[in-house]
Structure 1
């Protein structure tokens, strides 16, 4: 096959989506397919304009200049070229090839649901709602979709106006670099880096400042656990530099001397942090998939996460679940209940812990990169052989 991948332009600063597109492109190249990657270039975006206008210059590049370029390039493509969109958020480009063989990868619909008023924690501005509508109008022209989870596929179905020709679920493949490391060595390495005694373990969270990561809730839960049980196991949070809200929550904590907000850490540090943790705490309000759950299990760490899809889809029977943090001001009640689960997991016996870790190892077999590429290739071929 000849496959053209569309992905987000690098000048937007996104890392995950271009990385996903590269993973697909490399996987298909290794299987003998001819591959190209198309995206917008920063022509207007590179103009020297006030910071407030940069976004709009980027829109010109993405939605005026690039589509015109695509229309020219399409004249050189034969009828059996397959066009693949690495993300449904590239919706405005989809009508350009809606009548040609195409596949749209769907990751999450959190922005769409927020714009629809479905998520109280993430209100959307008037302009944001219009932008999400613009994206939606584009992907609604699509016919073939691959979602990363059943939850994502369910959300997709709510936004499509007609039934798709194809709508499949393929789990992303887990990076094989995540595996169990020596617990003592990992705790010593992390402890040395942050100048703390971690010999008794620590509670770990990994995630950015996106609203759904619930980083403020992590500290709220930790405070409740310390208040209730009086144990002083540290909390380590790895991710982006703390937002103002997270910094406020940290500074207000009576236990801030035992809370470590870490950013800019490399992959090895993160892998060591997973393996050395006593428990991985991941109380997200929502997720597109929730990769840290699988990463923690692969690294040999028990997981506590939110008992809603797609976190339950990733954690399966191998994770401990707590309720979603409510948006109605009942955070204290939530934190108190979740603290009980946290304390339970921290105090399981060695035999119980080994059983939990073994269940985690078995669970992550579902997330094979080789299997994912195989399934995706099969779907690509199926779509490319359909008559349009």
Structure 2
């Protein structure tokens, strides 16, 4: 009989209300593990925040709230102290970084190493500091981890090229898509959602982000060209992004008049994203560099055709179920929008292919692979 494990999981920011990709992945995996694993005990180390009820404690899943002021002092000072007194068998650090000094064996989830490839300061001050911090911490964490989990074959190769001595301990566990995105909504539900968020009946959806890799400037450049080439303009909806920043970019491009076709609904909660994708006409995801690209699958599962990039892990995730373009060529993005918007047969085909593709990635399978790796940690 296998030993019952006491597993520590670091999920510092899982309770913050505006979750990003890494927190979403950790949350979905933990929910799946709660349903799947009826033997082992878990201690989740997290920081208290507003969305404290997104994950419920249970008989085998204990939540330990660890205090700290910043991301860094929480991880480097307070987490190691909590781990030392926890009697866990090992710690799974879920979000790229880990404590420099750790008294227990370490399993590291390394979503990407973009910050090691190139250090630029094109993002916000917070993003820039985070990249410097990762450059300091991640190589040490890789060296001291028994296993490293990453999210695509593409990223595994990137990490192995950078750290060839660590290649044998890198394991790929694909991200997945929540069943919430497979829901079918009535016409009235979608109409109510659009009305409550000030959305038009038809729109192109783009997830705004100040990180340079998200390619916002080329998206805006391509959309400005699109507006000049069609008579029936479909508005562009940009989530969680400043109108002033977009206008500043458009002015730099000499295309400030394009702003009248862009809608800014602000932040949309994670539980409302199935409605957002389902309400949209086309989803744009022409990122410059992704280790996975979870929104691709979320849009596909929601029945929305996807235009994404032909770079990094995005073709691996999208398969033959999306339009692939060169994200550095705005003209290609423009052409893809126009072609897809005017071709209902192609659009329906992508929707069918997208549903099938998204169905191949589920969190229970991912959690099962992670659990098998946990059992190899001792």
TM-score range, shorter chain: 0.7 to 0.9
Structure 2 counterpart of 1:260: 263
Largest Rg, 1 or 2: 1
Distance 1:322 1:379, change over 3 A: same
Cα distance between partner residues in 1 of 2:18 and 2:275: 25
Cα distance between partner residues in 1 of 2:29 and 2:197: 37
Alignment size in residue pairs: 348
For each residue in 1:353-387, what CA deviation from the matched residue of structure 2 results, as whole angstroms up to 9, or x when unmatched?
A: 22221111111122111111111112222333xxx
For each residue in 1:142-177, what CA deviation from the matched residue of structure 2 results, as whole angstroms up to 9, or x when unmatched?
A: 231111111221222133252354322111221111
Unaligned ranges ≥5, structure 1? 46-54, 326-333
Match of 1:147 among 133, 145, 150: 150
Write the mapping of 1:153-192 to structure 2, written as runs, cut at 5 A. 153-160=156-163, 162-179=165-182, 181-182=184-185, 184-185=187-188, 188-192=191-195
Write the mapping of 1:112-261 to structure 2, written as runs, cut at 5 A. 112-115=116-119, 129=132, 132-160=135-163, 162-179=165-182, 181-182=184-185, 184-185=187-188, 188-193=191-196, 195=198, 197-198=200-201, 201-238=202-239, 240-242=240-242, 244-249=244-249, 252-261=255-264
Q: 1:66, CA displacement in angstroms? A: 3.8
Q: 1:133, CA displacement in angstroms? A: 2.7
SS in 1 for 2:320: helix
Cα distance between partner residues in 1 of 2:162 and 2:24: 26
The alignment yields a C-alpha RMSD, in angstroms, of 3.2
Structure 2 counterpart of 1:88: 96
Residues 221 and 336 in structure 1, CA contact (< 8 A), matched pair in contact too: yes
Q: 1:275, CA displacement in angstroms? A: 1.5
Distance 1:13 1:211, change over 3 A: farther
Cα distance between partner residues in 2 of 1:237 and 1:372: 30
Cα distance between partner residues in 2 of 1:224 and 1:283: 16
Q: 1:39, CA displacement in angstroms? A: 5.3
Cα distance between partner residues in 2 of 1:273 and 1:130: 34
For each residue in 1:252-310, what CA deviation from the matched residue of structure 2 results, as whole angstroms up to 9, or x when unmatched?
A: 53232221012132346432231122211111112232111111111111100111121
How high is the TM-score relative to the length of structure 1? Answer: 0.78
SS in 2 for 1:163: helix
Match of 2:33 among 9, 14, 28: 28
Q: 1:205, CA displacement in angstroms? A: 1.3
Residues 238 and 265 in structure 2, CA contact (< 8 A), matched pair in contact too: yes
Q: 1:82, CA displacement in angstroms? A: 3.5
Unaligned ranges ≥5, structure 2? 48-65
SS in 1 for 2:170: strand
